């Protein structure tokens, strides 16, 4: 049975609210993930159903999961930071995970949906700790993802072909500009909100994790040695 508990962790002068779930594995050191939610000004929070679906798949692979509310959302202190201050929220979530005895610090993943993908990936781009990235519905119509052009860690990026913030053309243009290793999928008939219910999404996440675990997270860290 999984252990699920509400937690609060510090980010500079504020405190953020999160939910930590740990699988019932007997392994002492487990891989872990920080999961970032969609735009807080449009109702996004850590209870979002796409966030929960991603979390469910990661938990099924014996990964410790931390989903949290960005500043100013739910019971997290502070106020919306235009996607800039939120970078510190992701770093603080990574700090918290890294401090847990059961987390393997060499196997930490960052996942994000929509706004959470943009913020989570940008935070990871400047942080050597994440070893892989999962992005759901990256809002390429709204934000610049040029920072991924030098991102050499394993990446999964998925989108629906009816997504109003992630058009197929811009999604494919982004993919063409970023290096391997990468895995991507466009879900036919899925829009921005229904993507989490698409039957292919769990399969894509699990296929990505299969590749990742088979390689034992041996990709080269940003600015660091081979693991």
10-residue mean pLDDT series, the chain (227 residues) = 91 98 86 98 98 97 97 98 98 97 95 98 98 98 97 98 98 97 97 96 96 64 30
Both tokens of 54, joined, read 């991603």
pTM of the model: 0.93
Tokens 């979530």 belong to 93
pLDDT value for 1: 62
Q: Of all helices (H) and strands (E), which one includes residue 211?
A: helix 200-214
pLDDT value for 224: 32
Distance CA 8, CA 163 (A): 33
Bridge partner residues of 113 (DSSP): 136
The answer for 195, left when phi > 0, alpha when psi is -120 to 50, beta otherwise, is alpha
Fold of 3-214: Rossmann fold (3.40.50)
Which pairing describes strands 130-136 and 155-162: parallel, antiparallel, or unpaired?
parallel
Both tokens of 144, joined, read 């610049």
Domain ranges of the chain: 3-214
């Amino acid at each position: 049975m999984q252990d699920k508990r509400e937690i609060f962790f510090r980010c500079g002068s504020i405190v953020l609210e999160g939910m930590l779930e740990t699988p019932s594995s007997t392994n002492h050191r487990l891989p872990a993930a920080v999961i970032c939610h969609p735009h807080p000004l449009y109702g996004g929070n850590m209870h979002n159903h796409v966030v929960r679906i991603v979390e469910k798949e990661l938990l099924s692979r014996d990964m410790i999961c931390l989903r949290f509310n960005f500043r100013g959302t739910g019971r997290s202190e502070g106020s919306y930071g235009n996607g800039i201050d939120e970078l510190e929220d992701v770093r603080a979530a990574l700090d918290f995970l890294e401090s847990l005895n059961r987390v393997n610090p060499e196997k930490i993943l960052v996942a994000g949906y929509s706004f959470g993908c943009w913020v989570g990936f940008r935070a990871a781009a400047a942080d050597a700790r994440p070893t892989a990235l999962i992005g759901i519905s990256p809002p390429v119509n709204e934000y610049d993802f040029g920072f991924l052009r030098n991102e050499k860690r394993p990446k999964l990026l998925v989108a629906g072909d009816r997504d109003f913030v992630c058009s197929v053309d811009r999604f494919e243009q982004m993919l063409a500009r970023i290096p391997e290793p990468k895995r991507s999928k466009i879900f036919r008939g899925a829009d921005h909100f229904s993507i989490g219910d698409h039957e292919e999404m769990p399969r894509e996440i699990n296929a990505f994790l299969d590749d990742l675990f088979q390689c034992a997270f041996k990709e080269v860290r940003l600015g660091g040695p081979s693991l």
